[in-house]
């Protein structure tokens, strides 16, 4: 199969974009990526988006965005996998290029969340859970994650302060990212003094509701030479994707993200590497507990030791396992369906040596994007060409 490479990236800052609609954000990111790649047309478009129908009453995003970006009569579809929609869209784009069906593919992740009333936004996010057996009982997405966090703390003896370290790290890194929603460092005290949203999850354990779009251009290694220098090429070396029970209660083990484990194993096998070979990790820290569980599930930490990495300072840029290098979902912001593409863009920056807080000599990066309460997960490995 053909070797897929990313040759261009584009994005908008994450934030509350009152003056911009979904299409404005998507088209801005997409055109930026095309300019970065030096391409003026693409063979197809994949749009990562979770809930545009609920948030802005707009489906058919393939047609909308390709039309408004002037891409002509190309094939264009929306890819939905809850909060992992962005990661899934990137993987669909990669598959199209690898298969030989399409040579130059655009992927854009977009979500416009702030047009909705906050309690409605909470409802729409819960649509990623099981409507009849979870949302029916009035559970929010935060609450589902809180059930896991309480168990995790009890099982392994961690405190709220311990898990807050993930938020502190994310904000420290986000402060250096001009596209991040929050550019202010915080302390453990900031997290602990913030109000509970769903005990034991506090406001600062959780990622914000936000708007944003990010895009990448994918082609083959051979074709890439027509557009950019080698320094701008980043290979998609491996990828995997898996689901778990949609309903948290149906899980045999509440403290393992089985879908992440399976997805990571598939990605490692495809790339011919192990977790030890990876220089940085963009994991899905929608909540601090998810950062801990993610590190364990992708094989970076042993079971119950994910939060230990934070306590030992190993997750910082200069640690052994840098995570959330540009702020993660927590500080960069989490426009749900766009997040996986933001992670991809940030990994590309690191591998091109263009990140504002560079991981020294980064050669391989991992992005892990979670949809639902761990029910739909993508893992993608990117490598310097």
Q: How far is the CB of 247 from another protein (least distance, A)?
A: 7
DSSP type of residue 100: T
Q: How far is the CB of 146 from another protein (least distance, A)?
A: 4
Give whichever of 2 and 123 is closer to another protein, judged by the CB atom. Answer: 123
Give whichever of 40 and 253 is closer to another protein, judged by the CB atom. Answer: 253
Q: How far is the CB of 139 from another protein (least distance, A)?
A: 5
Give whichever of 81 and 289 is closer to another protein, judged by the CB atom. Answer: 289
Strand ranges inside the chain, DSSP E = 4-11, 44-48, 76-79, 105-112, 196-198, 201-202, 211-220, 234-243, 280-282, 364-371, 376-384
Q: Which two tokens stand for residue 19?
A: 């003056």
Give whichever of 114 and 324 is closer to another protein, judged by the CB atom. Answer: 114
Exposed (0-12), middle (13-18) or buried (19+): which is 227, by Cβ within 10 Å?
Answer: middle
Q: How far is the CB of 246 from another protein (least distance, A)?
A: 12
The CA distances from residue 199 to 144, 145, 149, 195, in Å, are: 10, 10, 9, 9
Binding site for another protein (CB under 8 A): 117-120, 122-123, 126, 132-140, 142-143, 146-148, 150-151, 154, 195-201, 247-251, 254
- CA dist 251 and 247 (Å) reads 7
Residue 343 three-state SS: helix
Residue with tokens 């302060």: 161
Give whichever of 76 and 144 is closer to another protein, judged by the CB atom. Answer: 144
Q: How far is the CB of 196 from another protein (least distance, A)?
A: 6
Residues designated as active site: 83, 334
- CA dist 146 and 137 (Å) reads 15
Q: How far is the CB of 159 from another protein (least distance, A)?
A: 16
Q: Which of 258, 253, 143 is nearest to 206 (CA)?
A: 143
Give whichever of 146 and 323 is closer to another protein, judged by the CB atom. Answer: 146
Residues 247, 331 contacting (CB under 8 angstroms): no
Residues 136, 129 contacting (CB under 8 angstroms): no
Q: Which residues contact 188 (CB under 8 A, 6 or more apart)?
A: 161, 164, 165, 168
Residues 299, 366 contacting (CB under 8 angstroms): no
């Amino acid at each position: 199969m053909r070797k897929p490479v990313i040759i261009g990236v584009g994005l908008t800052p994450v934030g509350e974009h009152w003056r911009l609609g979904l299409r404005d954000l998507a088209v801005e990111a997409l055109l930026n990526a095309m300019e970065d790649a030096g391409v003026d047309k693409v063979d197809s478009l994949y749009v990562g988006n979770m809930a545009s129908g609920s948030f802005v009453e707009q489906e058919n995003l393939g047609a909308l965005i390709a039309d408004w970006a002037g891409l002509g009569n190309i094939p264009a579809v929306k890819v939905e996998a809850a909060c992992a929609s962005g990661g899934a869209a990137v993987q669909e784009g990669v598959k199209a290029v690898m298969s030989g069906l399409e040579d130059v593919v655009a992927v854009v992740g977009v979500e416009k969340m702030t047009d909705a009333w906050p309690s409605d936004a909470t409802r729409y996010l819960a649509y990623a859970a099981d409507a009849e057996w979870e949302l029916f009982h009035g559970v929010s997405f935060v609450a589902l994650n809180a059930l896991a966090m309480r168990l995790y703390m009890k099982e392994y003896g961690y405190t709220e302060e311990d898990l807050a370290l993930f938020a502190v790290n994310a904000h420290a890194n986000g402060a250096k990212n001009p596209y991040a929603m929050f550019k202010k460092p915080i302390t453990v005290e900031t997290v602990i003094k913030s109000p509970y949203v769903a005990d034991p999850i506090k406001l600062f354990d959780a990622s914000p509701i936000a708007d944003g779009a990010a895009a990448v251009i994918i082609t083959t290694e051979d074709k890439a030479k027509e557009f950019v220098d080698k320094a701008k090429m980043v290979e998609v070396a491996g990828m995997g994707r898996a689901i778990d029970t949609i309903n948290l209660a149906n899980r045999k083990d509440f403290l393992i993200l089985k879908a992440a484990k399976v997805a990571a194993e598939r990605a490692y096998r495809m790339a011919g590497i192990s977790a030890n070979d990876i220089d940085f990790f963009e994991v899905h820290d929608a909540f601090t507990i998810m950062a801990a569980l993610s590190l364990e599930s992708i094989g970076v930490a042993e079971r119950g030791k994910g939060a230990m990495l934070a306590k030992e300072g190993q997750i910082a840029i200069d640690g052994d396992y840098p995570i959330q290098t540009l702020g993660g979902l927590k500080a960069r912001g989490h426009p749900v369906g766009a997040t996986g593409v933001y992670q991809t863009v940030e990994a590309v920056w690191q591998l091109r040596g263009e990140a504002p807080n560079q991981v020294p000599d980064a050669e391989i990066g991992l992005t892990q994007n979670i949809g639902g309460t761990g029910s739909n997960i993508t893992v993608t490995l990117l490598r310097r060409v």
